[in-house]
Structure 1
Amino acid sequence: MEQQYLQGNYRLIQKRNLAKNIYDFTIEAKEMADIAQAGQFVHLRVAGFMLRRPISICEIDRDAGALRLVFEVRGEGTAVLANLIEGQLVDVLGPLGKGFTLLSPDSQAVVVGGGIGTPPMLETAKHYGKNATAITGFRSANAVILQEDFQRIGSSVMLCTDDGTMGAKGFVTQALRTRLMESHADIIYACGPHAMLKGIVELAREFGVRCEVSLEERMGCGVGACLVCACKTVKDGEEYYAHVCKDGPVFPAEELIWE
């Protein structure tokens, strides 16, 4: 099935600064909100730059016809984005990519986010509400985001920081092992750095839990036409290079080959 996506200029209706260099945009885009899924992303055009910037969808508000995007300033392009003001129009292409597979809302789900990999976990956890456990990891207390949001939707929250300045000191993989030893989980969703994802996939395999991961890669076009975001995968015993933007960013854990 060919992917359905839109492109247009949409109004930035709310902008907040969540932590150092981390911004929270709400964009009025009813047609996109109607078809967007948890785990998808949008591609934003930045004035003066040829390539668009991929930003994960953090929340979908179909009633208000809005998309919430949370991103980190990582270079000149995202710095320009961060300077937009409420009321301005943003050129958005989306929703793009393959999102997460959502099971019945009464399933037990664990969502794991590392740093700026945390935003796409919110919409995913929202589907399960009180049946979701949100495990999030950050470098330090000053980088922690979205904890109140996970609490708002009723999910259990396990927070980790590398330096122990907030939550438990340690990595999300330690918290995930604790959670899986305590009670049953039907599925694990994860997004964050590769080393973290690799550890999560190994834990999912050890405990026999279905797992899907969202990969963060540099992208060119966002629709599978260029080859910038290729990643090595295996399907039916055959190895092949998939496009993170079109075949992903979400992949079943068993299909990924970790270099």
Structure 2
Amino acid sequence: MKKRIFLVIGLISIMLFLSGCTQVKQPITAESTGFWNEYIVYPLSWFIVKVAETFGGSFGLSIILVTIIVRLAILPLMIKQTKSSKAMQALQPEMAALKEKYSSKDQKTQQKLQQETMQLFQKHGVNPLAGCFPLVIQMPVLIGFYHAISRTREIAEHSFLWFDLGSPDPFYILPLVAGATTFIQQKMMMAGTANQNPQMAMMLWMMPIMIIVFAINFPAALSLYWVVGNLFMIVQTYFIKGPDLKATATGNAGGAKK
């Protein structure tokens, strides 16, 4: 069931991305047509421009502030997703026991496994799809924000700190910070599980490397967005998963002493 859920999320995410990726090099304006442009990308682009005008035309500061505002707006969804994931994780021992009990691959046994698994969810008031819907809702917003930054012409015409927003960071500082913060954020999210899952452990290293490679070639505005978003996620994860992170750190320290 879990694999099917992630498959559905992956397919939806790919569809959402592809719905706009063909226009990623086309500037976004009030005349842009299509649901994706009119109701997601352009409103976010308009918001970035208006915030920049409020702060003296600083698009770098606008990207920082709008990123934080967008992250705050979807924070309740992130909290709900985290709580659902923790509830599912707490049921893993009982689910593993059911799989062992009904290990036979014949159809009747597998049907019985599904029935008892659903009864287990109902008993503990857990909805296996509850953690998926918040993610599905977030994806269009975050991908739309990415498009808004890359397709707003005014952004590419301005600079911020030491870099031009429309060109890659000449000193590679933003790409390296983006990669490092991606690693830290993922490490916190995977606390206590990466060591048990080789695929997750591999992603822990692959994602930061990919982000660095992309950020080296992409406009610095996008790198800035990634850095701010990652920093927000690090703080958010610390407060949401604080007790779990401390327990994991204590466990790792105890294992090291042994």
TM-score of the superposed pair, with normalisation by structure 2? 0.24
Quick check: which one's helix share is greater? 2
Quick check: which one's strand share is greater? 1
